[in-house]
Structure 1
């Protein structure tokens, strides 16, 4: 069997099918009514988007690791919740606002896809916002809400290193032969 095929179907067909289903789910959720008409409408709009506005081909190497992806999901949700509580505490505590700053993060990835996923995850964590991406050097500059102590800065770097490591493990693992 060809490496580009899974169960006799090409990977591009599988990706387009998954994208079509995802777009239909989003369309139905935006309408807020689970009906046959909305599902069919979502499929029609999704098909129109896929064929009228095709995404550029992005080289993806390696193999998806479901274990690393599951761990990445759990860790990302934990970091988002922890940061939300931290921001809530900053809002109600009887002290001045924390010192914020911009930190440089060196990513270990060489994949554009993984770099985008990493910056998306960093943006989802409350109190952080990616300001600039240097694709050539695999560096992102992130505005961080709390850099008031060395411990807070180290926590941020540990968070980003863990997310980067899990993303690489989930999406960039090379296929062994």
Structure 2
């Protein structure tokens, strides 16, 4: 049985989502009125109760510098993506070559998973087509992919987006997990580089 403190924390986590649904309803109508506000609150309550999902734990943490960095980079990516898609649309030599790319995020927060998917999808050139919430994995349809290195570059870009979101809005647990997993990934990459270097050295020695 949950304690009063736990129930209060759950309620506090749901309030921003409830207000977000009301705001979305107002934006869809494009005008503010008391009728729209009341109907938005009613529909938000119906959606919250009738289509209940597990509570999203919000870290309630905001780093202004990293938030500004995230927003500036997101704006830059939107402009760059728009120009790239425009060039592809106008190019007479463009040959469609798209891909579905799976990106395994390093955090396990539903909040970070959602924000990463949304911020990636609003950049022209890629859109989320499926989400594996259990494995914290995004599946994205990506335009103009011809080589494996382009897939890896895109995947690393999404992981960088996740990192910026975590540093801006993630909980302390998200930040610690991200740093730990990045350290493990860096160790694996270093080991692969050493193995590759040793392999090339043996190959040169055998050739000689």
Mark yes or no: TM-score above 0.5.
yes
Q: Which residue of 2 aligns with 1:144?
A: 142
Deviation at 1:80?
2.4
* Cα contact 1:98–1:148 (8 A) shared by 2: no
* Structure with the higher helix share, 1 or 2: 2
Q: State the distance in 1 between where 2:121 and 2:97 align.
A: 19
Q: State the distance in 1 between where 2:48 and 2:133 align.
A: 27
Q: Which residue of 1 aligns with 2:172?
A: 173
* Cα contact 2:104–2:138 (8 A) shared by 1: yes
Deviation at 1:64?
2.0
Q: Which residue of 1 aligns with 2:46?
A: 48
Q: Which residue of 1 aligns with 2:180?
A: none
Deviation at 1:91?
0.5
Q: CA 1:172–1:21 in 2, change beyond 3 Å: closer, same or farther?
A: closer
Q: State the distance in 2 between where 1:41 and 1:172 align.
A: 33
Deviation at 1:79?
1.7
Match of 1:82 among 76, 80, 83: 80
Q: Which residue of 2 aligns with 1:65?
A: 62
Q: CA 1:30–1:132 in 2, change beyond 3 Å: closer, same or farther?
A: closer
Superposed counterparts of 1:149-168, under 5 Å: 152-153=150-151, 155-168=153-166
Q: Which residue of 2 aligns with 1:129?
A: 127
Q: Which residue of 1 aligns with 2:94?
A: 96
1:65 counterpart SS class: coil
| Cα root mean square deviation, aligned | 3.3
Q: Which residue of 1 aligns with 2:197?
A: none
2:101 counterpart SS class: strand
Q: State the distance in 2 between where 1:21 and 1:81 align.
A: 29
* Cα contact 2:13–2:58 (8 A) shared by 1: no
- TM-score normalized by structure 2? 0.62
Q: State the distance in 2 between where 1:96 and 1:162 align.
A: 28
Question: Relative contact order (alpha carbons < 8 A, sep ≥ 6): 1 or 2 greater?
Answer: 1
Deviation at 1:144?
1.7
Q: State the distance in 1 between where 2:13 and 2:155 align.
A: 33
* Structure with the greater alpha carbon radius of gyration: 2
Q: CA 1:113–1:27 in 2, change beyond 3 Å: closer, same or farther?
A: closer
Q: State the distance in 2 between where 1:136 and 1:13 align.
A: 23
Deviation at 1:129?
2.9
Gaps (5+ residues) in structure 2?
A: 177-208
Gaps (5+ residues) in structure 1?
A: none
